[in-house]
Amino acid sequence: DRKTEDMRGYRAIKYILFIFCYFFWVSLCVYKCVCVCLDVVDTLMVDPALLLIIVGSIMFLITFLGCFGALRNATCLLKTFLAILVIIFLLQIAAGVVGYLFTDMVMERTEKLMMKAIVRYREDWDLENAIDFIQKKFQCCGVESYKEWSQNMYFECSDTNPSLEACGVPFSCCIHFQNQTVLNTMCGYGMQQQEESLARHDIFTTGCLEKIVSWAKNNLLLVAGLTGGLLLLEVCMISLAAAQISWINKVLRRQKENAAVTIYQNLETPFPT
């Protein structure tokens, strides 16, 4: 009958939403544990691992609201979960539009952030590992040029710099050949003093900003697919949460109407004489 079909649809929405939130919640648990392991040996200061832990914790709590609200039919939790998801979704759309319309400004801000990361290299273990990974992965060095490493106090190319790495670049900038078995961590020493035509035989001379932008353009379909998949998942969770809230409110209205009818019928029933 109609009521049975309605209950089946309600249960389907409820458990699909719970499954979505549960798997998202579990993945965030794993993500958070990895971030904690990365940061466990470091101090509690503003660094990449701590930032990832904070973001992961917030998303973890948001998804928990969806899981618990869907399972317990708690409209208050579901409404909170729905409102936060809508805000995040709108912020992502706004960020995409701003990034598209103000590409030059975004590139300028990105360049400044990357330059600050170079300045803090050697001061933060997590940041150092992140920069080394990017330079190895994208085969690049510096932000726009390998000589920008002079902005770092350890690699500053000046006569007054007592560092052994003065006028050098990190070893992650070095070109590693296939037959090379031993990692030479001193391969970047003195490379800033060489012209680009000579330095390119030993190190990557192209800046990382250019390489990252080039990679994004070459993998536009992949980036668009991942972004679209994330947005589609959010839209599905928003729709399911809104549908479950609507079902719960509908059931509550029916219960109130049935209770009112029952009370009215009891009042209309004459007392036995």
Q: DSSP letters of 50-91?
A: HHHHHHHHHHHHHHHHHHHHHHHT-HHHHHHHHHHHHHHHHH
- In whole numbers, what is the pLDDT of the chain averaged over residues? 77
pLDDT band at 48 (very low <50, low <70, confident <90, very high): low
Rounded Cα distance, 211 and 202, in Å? 18
pTM: 0.60
* Rounded percentage of the chain residues whose pLDDT exceeds 90: 16
Q: What is the DSSP string of the chain?
A: -HHHHHHHHHHHHHHHHHHHHHHHHHHHHHHHHHHHHHHTTS-SSS-HHHHHHHHHHHHHHHHHHHHHHHHHT-HHHHHHHHHHHHHHHHHHHHHHHHHHHTHHHHHHHHHHHHHHHHHTTTT-HHHHHHHHHHHHHHT--SSSBGGGGGGSTTT--STT---TTTT---GGGBPPPTT--S--TTTTTTGGGS-HHHHTTTB--B-HHHHHHHHHHHTHHHHHHHHHHHHHHHHHHHHHHHHHHHHHHHHHHHHHHHHHHHHHHHHHSPPP-
Token readout for 160 is 């007054």
What distance in Å separates the CA atoms of residue 43 and residue 56, rounded to the nearest whole number? 18
Asked if 236 and 20 count as a contact pair (C-beta separation under 8 A), the reply is: yes
Q: Which CATH number is associated with domain 113-216?
A: 1.10.1450.10
119 compared with 222, residue with greater pLDDT? 119
Tally of CB atoms within 10 A around 181:
6
Q: Average pLDDT in the 218-243 region?
A: 81
The answer, yes or no, to whether residue 224 has pLDDT greater than 70, is: yes
Residue (of 126, 151, 137, 142) closest to 219 by Cα position: 137
> Structural domain boundaries of the chain?
2-105+230-265, 113-216
Q: Which residue has the higher pLDDT, 66 or 2?
A: 66
Is the pLDDT higher at 253 or at 21? 253
Q: Across the strands, what pairs with 206?
A: 145
Residues 118 and 66: their CA atoms lie apart, in Å, by 40
For the record, the structure tokens of 202 come out as 């030993």
Instruction: Look up residue 162 and give its two tokens.
Output: 């007592």
* pLDDT number for residue 44: 37
What pLDDT was estimated at residue 37?
47
- pLDDT exceeds 90 at position 73: no
